[in-house]
Amino acid sequence: AEEGEGWKLTEAGVTELDGDLPVNPSGGVLSTNPIGASGMIRFAEAALQVRGRAGEHQIDGATRALGHAYGGGAQFFAMWLVGAEPPPG
């Protein structure tokens, strides 16, 4: 989406669980938010998605997942990209 136009993707259903660009398939911290571990749960969700083990909220064919977290000791402003295949080389 062009800058300032991302909201249109949400309104069009693109970011839904079965959309072309699913966002937050686990429900995020609105569904689960253990104090001190919410950032690690986001990382675990990303790993489960690319391994095909995310259960009812699995995105079919997921090969990459981007996650982020902020707050808490070791997870303060962290972002990661995980993939189903090891990097080349």
**How would DSSP label each residue in 10-58?**
HHTTTTSTTSSS---TT-GGGT---TTTHHHHHHHHHHHHHHT--GGG-
Q: What is the CA radius of gyration of the chain?
A: 14
More confident residue, 24 or 70: 24
State the total domains in the chain.
1
What pLDDT score was predicted for residue 60?
93
For residue 48, what are the contacts with CB-CB under 8 A and spacing of at least 6? 54, 55, 58
Q: Is the pLDDT of residue 9 over 90?
A: yes
Range among 27-31, 37-41, 42-46 with highest mean pLDDT value: 42-46
Inside any domain, residue 1: no
Inside any domain, residue 89: no
Q: Is the pTM of this model over 0.85?
A: no
Range of the domain at 16: 6-83
Q: Do 51 and 84 contact (CB within 8 A), yes or no?
A: yes
Inside any domain, residue 62: yes
